[in-house]
């Protein structure tokens, strides 16, 4: 299972990476915004995307829309881990095809639960 973690803050990338490692997912790579992430997704054989919303360059929601619009990537499960907590935003993410939505600050249990739920459905 190869996972791409996208967040503009290296601390948050590291936290998510460590939590994923504790869950047994050791094959992870990082990107600091959508613009960097998209070519990585297109060229790499990633199985799962964890992304923040608010990032410079390309935001997480735009990255999600690009992923869903790409015929090779459209079925990839996407988990959004973000501080964005407006109802409209959550609805927009759902309509754009997000598979899970975790708001920051989050617990290890919340992240684990969402990831497990995503893989149950996939």
Partner 1 sequence: MTNQITLHKEDSMIIELRECASLLLEKLQGDDYQEASKMIVNLNVTRDRSIFQSVGELTRALHESIKNFNIPGGEQAFSQQGSNVDKCSELHEASSGLEYVLTLTKNAADKTMDMVEDCAPICNELGQEANSLKLEWTRLRNREMSPDEFRALYTRLDNYFETLDAGTNKLNENMQNIILEQGFQDLTGQVLKKVINLVTEVEGNLVSLMRIAGQVEAVVGIDVTKYDNKGCDGANPDADIVGEGPQYNAEKRADVVGSQDDVDDLLSSLGF
Binding site for partner 1 (CB under 8 A): 9-11, 14-15, 18, 53-55, 59, 61, 82-92, 94, 101-104, 106, 110
Report CA torsion sign: 12, 19, 82, 4: positive
Q: Which residue, 18 or 75, is less far from partner 1 as judged by CB? A: 18
The residues with which 51 forms a beta bridge, in sequence order, are 6, 80
Q: Residue 13 or residue 45: which is nearer to partner 1 going by CB?
A: 13
Min CB(54)–partner 1 separation in Å = 3
**Cβ atoms 21, 65 nearer than 8 A:** no
Question: Quick one: 32 or 84, whose CB is closer to partner 1?
Answer: 84
CB of 3 to partner 1, least distance (A): 19
Nearest distance from residue 43's CB to partner 1, in Å?
A: 27
Residue in the structure block whose two tokens are 């967040």: 7
Residue with tokens 């803050």: 9
Nearest to 4 by CA among 43, 39, 51, 42: 51
Q: Closer to partner 1 at the Cβ: 48 or 101? A: 101
């Amino acid at each position: 299972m190869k996972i791409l973690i996208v967040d503009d803050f290296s601390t948050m990338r590291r936290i998510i990476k460590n939590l994923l490692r504790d869950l047994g997912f050791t094959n992870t790579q990082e990107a600091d915004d959508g613009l960097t992430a998209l070519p990585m997704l297109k060229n790499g054989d990633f199985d799962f995307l964890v992304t923040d919303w608010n990032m410079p360059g390309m935001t997480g929601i735009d990255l999600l829309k690009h992923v869903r619009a790409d015929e090779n990537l459209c079925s990839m499960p996407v988990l959004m881990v973000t501080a964005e907590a407006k109802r409209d935003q959550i609805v927009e993410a759902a309509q754009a095809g997000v598979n899970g939505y975790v708001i920051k600050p989050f617990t290890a249990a919340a992240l684990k639960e969402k990831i497990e739920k995503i893989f149950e459905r996939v």
